[in-house]
Amino acid sequence: MGVKVHDAHHGFLYCEVDKIKGCEIQLDFPSVGATENIMLAAVFAEGETVIRHAAKEPEIVDLQNFLVGMGADVSGAGTSTITIRGTNRKLNNVEHTVIPDRIVAGTYLVAAGITGGELNLKNVMPEHITSVVSYLRESGCRINIKRNNIHISGPSRPKAIDIIRTLPYPGFPTDMQSQFVSLLSVARGTSIIVETIFENRYKHVEELLRMGADIKLEGRLAVIKGVKRLTGATVTARDLRGGAALVLAALAAEGTSIISGIKHIDRGYENIEGKLSMVGAIIKREE
């Protein structure tokens, strides 16, 4: 697109350009962040930009809807090819409602599954989490969907799932891998999870081992032998979804758990302790 990118110094990239130019971009991997940032850069680029092998996540479609509402010329979101025609015009003001967070919804569904509880989630887009719902049903959860509501009843003890493989949308999301590791750590039987999207995405496993989980890692593979019950422990959240997984594990564990590093959890969950308290969890935040 004509941008000169200088080598990183002290964690920074230095970029300069007089005018961004449209071009064809072939992504090696359908990255959500890469797709979104190219779309944004291309809105005011000179000429047409085509993104091939683009990510198809619902958030990409939502961004397109927002940009089109502002007067940008963007099409193809939700497919593997997105076209953006640059403009020199000022964009319009627009009012836009962001789509419900599918990963937050999936996390609360797993909370019911791991505790054997019952929840009713409102304002959900079920079509965005079909793979999550499918695996939860496989683990023994009873799920009823009506429009934008999902009702879930967790089993007395989850059943193991032979294998889960993280994949780009509409496959099973990597952002739900950590939560399912917690769920399957108390399942009846042995489960396998294969992380194909990100390396080093098992930071939560070491903390779950402190709680009594039986998990063995082999590269991108996690072999999870379910135990009857986890035990409360003092653990540390090292990333966003791993932190959420520790909260879920603590809900199902015997005794008290203390989770530090909750700044990571706050990045993706608003008032998670308040929402879980509303449905019976004994959980509180302490400074």
Q: What is the pLDDT of residue 123?
A: 96
CATH superfamily of 4-85: Enolpyruvate transferase domain (3.65.10.10)
Q: What is the pLDDT of residue 8?
A: 76
Task: Give the whole-angstrom CA distance, residue 178 versus residue 176.
Answer: 6
pLDDT digits (tens, 9 = 90+) for 7-65: 777 889 999 999 999 999 999 999 999 999 999 999 999 999 999 999 999 999 999 99
Owner of token pair 């005794």: 255
Q: pTM value? A: 0.94
For the chain, which ranges sit under pLDDT 50? none
In the chain, ranges of CATH 3.65.10.10 domains: 4-85, 102-278
Helix (H) or strand (E) holding 73: strand 73-75
CATH class in words for 102-278: alpha beta
Q: Which amino acid is at 261?
A: G
Q: How far apart are the first and last CA of the chain?
A: 47
Task: Give the whole-angstrom CA distance, residue 118 versus residue 24.
Answer: 49
Tokens representing residue 10 in the block: 């002290």
Distance between alpha carbon 3 and the CA centroid of its chain, in Å? 31
Distance between alpha carbon 88 and the CA centroid of its chain, in Å? 35
CA-CA-CA-CA dihedral for 134, 135, 139, 141, to nearest 10: -40
Tokens representing residue 136 in the block: 């939860």
Q: What is the pLDDT of residue 64?
A: 98
Q: What is the pLDDT of residue 199?
A: 86
Phi, psi of 31, deg, nearest 5: -80, 130
Burial class (CB in 10 A: 0-12, 13-18, 19+), 92: exposed
Tokens representing residue 70 in the block: 């502002």
Q: What is the pLDDT of residue 56?
A: 98
- Nearest to residue 217, comparing CAs of 235, 192, 238? 192
Alpha helices for 150-239 (secondary structure H): 177-184, 203-210
CA-CA-CA-CA dihedral for 198, 106, 209, 157, to nearest 10: -140
